Structure 1
Amino acid sequence: MWIAESQMWAESQNIIYSRDDFLPLDSNDSIFEGNALRMDWSEIVEPYDVNYIMGNPPFVGQSYRSNEQKQDMIDIFGKGSRETKQDYVICWYKKSLDYVSDYKNSSVKCAFVSTNSICQGECVPTFWKDMINAGVEIQFARRTFIWTNEAKNKAAVHCVIVGYSFHKINNIKELYDGGKLTKCDHINPYLVPEEDIWISSRPKRPKDKSKMTTGSPATDDGQLFLSPEEAKTMSKEYPILSKYIRPFIGAHEFLHDLNERTRYCLWFADVGDELPKIIKADHMKDRFQHIKEKRLSSSASRIKKAAETPWLFAQNRQPDTEYLVIPRHSSENREYIPIGFMDPKIIAGDATTIVYDATLEDFAILESSLHVAWMKTVAGRLKSDYRYSSSVYYNFPMPKLTNELKEKLEKSAEGILNARANHPSLSLADMYKELLMPSDLRDAHRKNDKLILQAYGLNKDATDQDILKVLFKMYNNKDND
């Protein structure tokens, strides 16, 4: 309140040319200034005198933390802990738990405005699992909403509000989602009215899923890449290189290229006995030497090992057959994830995620709003963009696919692909902008959504919350089989 009054003083002076008191705030002797994470809260007020703890702590992702903030996280969670890779705001949750636990005061209730990333991805099976095991119970929550600040550039932040107690209370919980209030017996850390569930990384591929991995990393300092002009010139001057010059796609090329490729690479996976001849062409020896030195300077042993074969990408994950491409990072503003089939002659880089031997049924399911609801909940983030990984896919509950359903899914997938083909002048990035999606493509997606929802026993009006309830139950049932 004092902060709000101070902010309004400056605004009001420009109107009434007077500095007056507007709010009946008689004293501010209970305000303490300092780093809240390094202060001993019990020296300010004893826990048994507290009823509520609430606030809007700072949200700071791992890449943006100051040295002081990095040390705060180490002090609270321990050096090397998984939590230190998550958002800075979780420090206040842990601080509140420690504050109350030390005094065995379980009547305190707490609520914080936070970035929504703390209720997604790896934060749930790590940080939240420890909080729940320590006795924390979510009493109410506000699911993701966009909050703009009053700064000139008005940054929009995706937030949640989580209210919790430090022991289980046998009462009705309240979950707010937009204008909808759901009263329920339990709210889990994904902010869904279901029992607690911990969806963590799954290193092994389930039997019912195609193999998924990131594309091939070059780790070459740019020496294996060519512009279209360079590729054309090199092929003309050194014909021996022409069969080793391949189109290349990262996430940017996949989303923005039209009919012509904008990037090429030197792909010597099958060079064999021609390597001595290759080295003589167009400064290849210099290129390879540069790569070797760059890799040897790495602290990673696998990169140092790759210095032995500097003409190759550091890792070869290129499929031999047609494959699906998914950008590793996808804008939060897209209703669907742009996904597409790719010829094996086109090399996929490690800014993409690829699915080997994918079918049209796989495509239809992954391109659905149902799958997006799952991805938005369990995927990690880079800034505000979603980070797609094999864990999202491997943990995703698939429906039972009858032959009849497979045929319908194939036709539905073809409908989406055909609609895209109707717009050759638009890139995938253009087609999947929320306001610019062509009507025929949107219609194809809507039909696909309806089909997928039916396959999971849901109606076409199902909300994300409805979808997640079904998917979480399927995940739990399969995990317990």
Structure 2
Amino acid sequence: MTNAEKREAARQLIQKWHNKGREDEDDRSYWLDILQRLLGCADATDRIEFQKKVIVNGNTKRIDAYIPETKIIIEQKSEGIPLDKKISQSGGTELTPYEQAKRYNDNLPTSEKAKWIITSNFQELWIYDMDTRVPENNVVKIHIDDLHHNSSLLDFLLEKKVIQVSKEVDLSQEAGKLVGKIYDAFLKQYHDPESKKALESLNVLCVRLVFCLYSEDAGLFEQKDSFSGYIAQYEPKDLRPALLSLFKVLDTPYPDRPDLYLSEELEAFPYVNGGLFANEDIIIPKITQEIKDALAEAGHFNWRDISPTIFGAVFESTLNPVTRRKGGMHYTSIENIHKVIDPLFLDDLKNEFAEILTIGVQKQKKKKLEEFQNKLAGLTFLDPACGSGNFLTETYISLRRLENDILRELQNGQVIFGDTNWNPIKVSISQFYGIEINDFAGDVAKTALWIAESQMMKETEDVVLMHLDFLPLKSNVNIHIGNALQMDWASIISPSKLSYIMGNPPFVGQSVRTKDQAHDMNDIWGQGEIETKLDYVICWYKKALDYINTSSTNIEIAFVSTNSICQGESVPTFWKKMIDSGAEIHFAYRSFVWDSEANEKAAVHCVIIGFSNFSRSHTKFIYTEETKTKAEHINPYLLDAPDIWITNRINKPQNGLPKMTTGSPPTDDGALTLSITEKEELEKQYPVLAKYIKPFIGAKEFLHDNVNSYSRYCLWFKDGNVSDYVNIKEITERLEKVRALRKSSNADRIQKMADYPYLFCQIRQPLSTYLVFPRHSSQNRRYIPIGFMPSSVIAGDACSIIPNVTIYEFGVLTSNVHNAWMRVTCGRIKSDFRYSPAVYNNFPWPTPTLEQKAKIEQTAQAILNARAMYPNNCLADLYNPLAMPEPLLKAHIANDRAVMQAYGLSVKDTSEADCVAFLMKRYQELTQTK
């Protein structure tokens, strides 16, 4: 389902169940609605079990609903029943809905125990993650009225890969708001808040304060509320020296603390190490009551349970959003991070661990587990655009959880006693390397990794049942500040010692690229060696490939990128150079929306590409949001097909078909185009002009004007009688405006047309009926709306046009086959399609029989007939993916079937990716025979 379809489904669900719902009568239909309507589950009745039996104290009880695949228990109550209310059970016991569900869970077999418990009263869903230490302290509450904003929170109902729901997201975002308050309050007190020194000082100060707030809640400082209490006792005027004293103590080992008469409260603070508090040169401004109040508010917040992965990004959002956008940074959800790291290495590691668990001989199994733990400790990772470190942090957490699983198996239920200096943990944050151009983001990345290390140590303590000392910090954090494209990565970590490169490098298009970034592109690719319109992200691909080509070590890479690098002209320009240099794609996620957890969300259409310079023995996979498909070979269009370079090989189409051009550009500063009002006034005042005023369409008018109704017109004086208009003052004023605009142009061809201000700058208007393609069209549409126009309607250059085409060509070009080809080979404006003649010229046409051609003509005419049934609707409305009229949709489906049959494709068994792969092979055959 698309996001728009999910929102509409959520709206319908909310409307149906608002303020209603009875436990015994409606629970089945309610949950089937959620699974079917909201999540698009076609086999919902097979995925959920109602009234599942469970034996409790010898009595048969029934769980309201249970989802076996994702191990979810649902306890349903009627609308209006509070979900925290204790309800009398048989036998007189009083339990809340969660306690009731937990009792059921406690009596299920181990293989069926819940990963999640949901309690619901039709209006609210309370979600408990049973993998957390205290599930009832981390409940996520969703109101049904909010589902249209966050329906994705329920993906865990059907998807095993969802690790956590949004409680940590909510906590981290709330923490980010608190940091923002502290940041803003301090910023006001700097004499020169825009200076580099002030901003650097404030960044370091915020990182230190967050570390202290986290440490007191996580138990790293021995006394509860030690930091908050320390702050609270001082008046604002005395707080600045108090903070300086605290930072000095935190950076000094106990034996080296020079002041023998430190206060007890300062003496109680531990030595931190790690360089976090080492810089004494930072500027701390005068502290006001506002600052103290912001610190006090932050002290009341529970920092212990924030997600370091998410919080790092949210913490970084205290930076100016404009600054962040200029840097091209897009912050990443945990789910999306796993789309990168799972197929890159984590799936293989988990499979290897599962294989070890099948070993029956304990001695051999123990040896393999120890070897596997050493393997995890030997892996190294580089994120060369690490930002706030969320890829590194989530990877560290994932490896440590896998290591904890190893320790759990090695311990085999026994308490480990012995040397208190013994440390069972081998995976270290020193295995993780990052490069970041922004020093604040780098500091945040270090802090996020330290917090992750602390949290995972607590989880290990629960496994080995012994206390482990976190402070002083023992692990080095290898975050390096600088421009990754101007640095020698081998000076940070030798290729011979590196295992994986991963990350989400900046997405920066040409229009917003800085001079330094343009310089980077030339340095990486060579002056004039690469199309400058390509996204800045391609520099990281080239830099990474050059880096691994210097070593015989098998390093694998996976980057998130804008989907533009696998579409249109990017493929034969960028990817051909990559493939020729030895790159091979191992896995890929095809285009999807890359959501963010930061306040300034970056919803961009992305791909994920895993590649290296060697042939990996593993099976190749192509992923979409819904599927995972094996592939023999993944080409740069992210299809299971040979490497094919689709270029504009000819400037005319195949088989003698008419040439596609763009429409006629006015280049008039609006002087030759008219609104309806301007048209009517001119015609009324100067009737002679009526024959020179023509309907005018750009892409917008073609899509949004109703049939036979035009919102825009133009003055079309081609082949006109000059005496009809040359003496009309308003016309001459308009023509002077056109002349002035064209004279000021830097283009010679436009300057020359300044002598002909009464004509469009270029005239490509057909003399007969022509087919119109809007050059830009929404990516949400299943079909680009195209249609015929009479020659009396003037097409502007926002349209592509083909004269003298028949209903047969219209049928093929409006089909799902051509639209599938277009989606892969066209350019993009943001995420929308940008149709060009190259898409049309290179399209491999079918060779139908006379009967097949007649069928296409018949179904194509049916499309036009269906449109004619809605004369008061525009094409944009008719092709809205959520509201396409049934007769029109059926006509298109019939036409799709007819065109696919003309290609010899199976209507039932051919996916869109299969179809494009087939067309690419046809394209290859065509180009090889020319």
What is the aligned counterpart of 2:536 among 73, 88, 91? Answer: 88
SS in 2 for 1:31: strand
Q: Answer yes or no: is 1:160 the counterpart of 2:607.
A: yes
Q: Residue by residue, what CA displacement relative to the aligned partner does 1:95-127 show, whole Å, maximum 9, x if unpaired?
A: 1122223x2435221111112111111110000
In structure 2, what is the equivalent of residue 212 of structure 1? 660
Rate the CA distance shift 1:456–1:254 in 2: closer, same or farther, 3 A.
same
- The alignment covers a number of residue pairs equal to 475
Rate the CA distance shift 1:203–1:291 in 2: closer, same or farther, 3 A.
farther
SS in 2 for 1:37: helix
Decide whether the 8 Å contact of 2:653 with 2:840 is kept in 1: no
What is the aligned counterpart of 2:915 among 442, 463, 467? Answer: 467
In the TM superposition, 1:52-131 aligns within 5 A as 52-101=500-549, 103-105=550-552, 107-131=554-578
What is the aligned counterpart of 2:716 among 248, 251, 267? Answer: 267
Pick which of 83-92 and 337-346 moved more. 83-92
Decide whether the 8 Å contact of 1:86 with 1:123 is kept in 2: yes
In structure 2, what is the equivalent of residue 42 of structure 1? 490
Distance in 2 between the 1:292 and 1:285 partners? 10
In structure 2, what is the equivalent of residue 238 of structure 1? 686
In structure 2, what is the equivalent of residue 397 of structure 1? 844
Amino acid corresponding to residue 427 of structure 1 in structure 2 = C
In the TM superposition, 1:414-425 aligns within 5 A as 414-425=861-872
Where does structure 2 lack aligned partners over 5 or more consecutive residues?
1-167, 177-213, 215-297, 306-450, 458-472
Decide whether the 8 Å contact of 1:136 with 1:168 is kept in 2: no
Report the CA distance between 1:431 and its aligned residue. Answer: 0.9
Report the CA distance between 1:339 and its aligned residue. Answer: 0.5
Q: Answer yes or no: is 1:304 the counterpart of 2:751.
A: yes
Q: Answer yes or no: is 1:455 the counterpart of 2:930.
A: no
Decide whether the 8 Å contact of 2:848 with 2:903 is kept in 1: no
Q: Residue by residue, what CA displacement relative to the aligned partner does 1:390-427 show, whole Å, maximum 9, x if unpaired?
A: 10001000001332222111111111111111112211
In structure 1, what is the equivalent of residue 860 of structure 2? 413
Distance in 1 between the 2:475 and 2:545 partners? 29
Report the CA distance between 1:250 and its aligned residue. Answer: 0.5
In structure 2, what is the equivalent of residue 27 of structure 1? 475
SS in 2 for 1:435: coil
Q: Residue by residue, what CA displacement relative to the aligned partner does 1:459-479 show, whole Å, maximum 9, x if unpaired?
A: 223211110121011111111
Pick which of 171-180 and 279-288 moved more. 171-180
Q: Answer yes or no: is 1:426 the counterpart of 2:426.
A: no
Distance in 2 between the 1:318 and 1:280 partners? 26
SS in 2 for 1:162: strand
Distance in 2 between the 1:424 and 1:8 partners? 49
Distance in 1 between the 2:801 and 2:476 partners? 58
Distance in 1 between the 2:590 and 2:679 partners? 50
- In terms of fraction of residues, the more helix-rich structure is 2
Report the CA distance between 1:28 and its aligned residue. Answer: 4.2
Compute the RMSD of aligned alpha carbons.
2.3
In structure 2, what is the equivalent of residue 228 of structure 1? 676
Amino acid corresponding to residue 727 of structure 2 in structure 1 = K
Amino acid corresponding to residue 320 of structure 1 in structure 2 = L
Report the CA distance between 1:167 and its aligned residue. Answer: 3.3
Distance in 1 between the 2:609 and 2:474 partners? 31
Rate the CA distance shift 1:17–1:58 in 2: closer, same or farther, 3 A.
closer
In structure 2, what is the equivalent of residue 10 of structure 1? 175
Q: Residue by residue, what CA displacement relative to the aligned partner does 1:243-268 show, whole Å, maximum 9, x if unpaired?
A: 11111000111111114211110011
Structure with higher RCO (Cα < 8 A, 6+ apart):
1
Pick which of 17-26 and 139-148 moved more. 17-26
SS in 1 for 2:486: coil
Distance in 1 between the 2:600 and 2:814 partners? 33
In structure 2, what is the equivalent of residue 380 of structure 1? 827
Distance in 2 between the 1:61 and 1:26 partners? 41
Report the CA distance between 1:26 and its aligned residue. Answer: 5.0
Distance in 1 between the 2:810 and 2:915 partners? 19
Q: Answer yes or no: is 1:326 the counterpart of 2:759.
A: no
Report the CA distance between 1:207 and its aligned residue. Answer: 4.0
In structure 2, what is the equivalent of residue 288 of structure 1? 735
Q: Answer yes or no: is 1:279 the counterpart of 2:738.
A: no
Decide whether the 8 Å contact of 2:654 with 2:841 is kept in 1: no
Report the CA distance between 1:161 and its aligned residue. Answer: 1.3
Q: Residue by residue, what CA displacement relative to the aligned partner does 1:132-187 show, whole Å, maximum 9, x if unpaired?
A: 01111111212222221123464432221111111345664222234433333311
Distance in 2 between the 1:197 and 1:416 partners? 33
Rate the CA distance shift 1:304–1:82 in 2: closer, same or farther, 3 A.
farther
Amino acid corresponding to residue 754 of structure 2 in structure 1 = A
SS in 2 for 1:447: helix
Report the CA distance between 1:303 and its aligned residue. Answer: 0.6
Amino acid corresponding to residue 163 of structure 1 in structure 2 = G
Report the CA distance between 1:302 and its aligned residue. Answer: 0.8
Decide whether the 8 Å contact of 1:326 with 1:339 is kept in 2: yes
Pick which of 316-325 and 115-124 moved more. 115-124
Rate the CA distance shift 1:390–1:442 in 2: closer, same or farther, 3 A.
same
Identity %: 51
Amino acid corresponding to residue 465 of structure 1 in structure 2 = A
Decide whether the 8 Å contact of 1:213 with 1:355 is kept in 2: yes
Decide whether the 8 Å contact of 1:174 with 1:181 is kept in 2: yes
Report the CA distance between 1:322 and its aligned residue. Answer: 0.3
Distance in 2 between the 1:319 and 1:221 partners? 23
Distance in 2 between the 1:10 and 1:33 partners? 25
Report the CA distance between 1:453 and its aligned residue. Answer: 1.3
Pick which of 88-97 and 182-191 moved more. 182-191
Distance in 1 between the 2:911 and 2:474 partners? 48
Distance in 1 between the 2:795 and 2:499 partners? 56
Q: Answer yes or no: is 1:149 the counterpart of 2:599.
A: no
TM-score, length basis structure 1: 0.93
Decide whether the 8 Å contact of 1:365 with 1:371 is kept in 2: yes
Distance in 2 between the 1:329 and 1:425 partners? 23
Rate the CA distance shift 1:342–1:28 in 2: closer, same or farther, 3 A.
farther
Distance in 2 between the 1:423 and 1:239 partners? 33
Where does structure 1 lack aligned partners over 5 or more consecutive residues?
none
Pick which of 129-138 and 51-60 moved more. 51-60
Rate the CA distance shift 1:26–1:111 in 2: closer, same or farther, 3 A.
farther
Decide whether the 8 Å contact of 1:238 with 1:282 is kept in 2: no
Distance in 1 between the 2:894 and 2:474 partners? 62
Decide whether the 8 Å contact of 1:41 with 1:99 is kept in 2: yes
What is the aligned counterpart of 2:704 among 256, 259, 272? Answer: 256
Distance in 1 between the 2:821 and 2:304 partners? 55
SS in 2 for 1:129: helix
Decide whether the 8 Å contact of 1:120 with 1:378 is kept in 2: yes
Distance in 2 between the 1:279 and 1:37 partners? 59
Decide whether the 8 Å contact of 1:61 with 1:383 is kept in 2: no
Structure 1 or 2, whichever has the larger Rg, is 2
In structure 1, what is the equivalent of residue 46 of structure 2? none
Pick which of 57-66 and 373-382 moved more. 57-66
TM-score, length basis structure 2: 0.49
